A and B are shown apart, each in its own frame.
Chain A
Amino acid sequence: MKPNKDQPAATERAEPLGSNSEIGRKLKQYYDELVTEEVPDRFADLLRQLEDREAGTSARKGD
């Protein structure tokens, strides 16, 4: 496997807020803390319910 040289440079993305800036680093730290919080079960449950609801409707349609 050759490394993909066509990948866009990630540094282009957030240049004014890159790792060189204290603000940029604090922003990532703040956000990473939120992203890594444990996710409550309610969201997985909700998606299961939505899926079941849909399965129910299409089964009825099929009858």
Chain B
Amino acid sequence: MAADIDFKTGLLGAVPSLRAFAVSLSQNSDRADDLVQETLVKAWDKQSSFQPGTNLKAWLFTILRNEFYSQMRKRGREVQDSDGAMTARLAVHPSQHGSMDLEDFRNALERLPEDQREAIILIGASGFSYEEAAEICECAVGTIKSRVSRARTRLQELLKVSGESDYGPDSIAAQVMGSNAA
């Protein structure tokens, strides 16, 4: 009984992280909330397969990720296009101003392949270890490392290009150095 309550509290507590991960994957907030809903139902139904004491958040992320890819396979890629994501992806313009703002970053992130995007999100933002991320993505630790590295390189390329006209990459590098004095 107490375990049930803990489980429910755990699920509820994980919702903000699940939503963030779902938006990062699907790039669409309505679809993201449907994914989270489906994840909670699935998690509830297979509660008995969760081992108490292990990482609930990682377990839930695994369910959400599987759900995302199975929906992708079912619905096909055109769903993303109909939401305008592809149009946006093709029409990314360099930023009007030189500093890398959040919108530039969001556009760049959207242009990464799914496997690289999820890897860099899991490691760089969701706070998982490489081992945990490998388990969530059902691949080797080395694969996660190389995806993160490729994602980082690609993001750097994309974002440098968008800032180059005004300031150029050197000044971005100088900014980074400067702001890291602390």
Contact = CB atoms under 8 A, between A and B. Distances in A.
B40 interface: yes
A35 B11 contact: no
B109 A30 contact: yes
Contact of A17 (B37, B109, B124): B124
A43 B36 contact: yes
A27 B180 contact: no
Contacts of A30: 102, 105-106, 109, 125
B91 to A, nearest CB: 20
A63 interface: no
Interface residues of A, number: 33
Interface string A19-63: 111111011111111111101101110110011001000000000
Nearest to B101: A26
Contact of A40 (B33, B109, B125): B33
A14 interface: yes
B102 A29 contact: yes
A13 interface: yes
B40 A16 contact: no
Contacts of A33: 102
Contacts of A21: 152, 176
Contact of A37 (B16, B24, B37, B149): B16
B60 interface: no
A36 B41 contact: no
A3 B123 CA distance: 26
A36 B175 CA distance: 27
A33 B101 CA distance: 13
Interface of A: 12-14, 16-17, 19-24, 26-37, 39-40, 42-44, 46-47, 50-51, 54
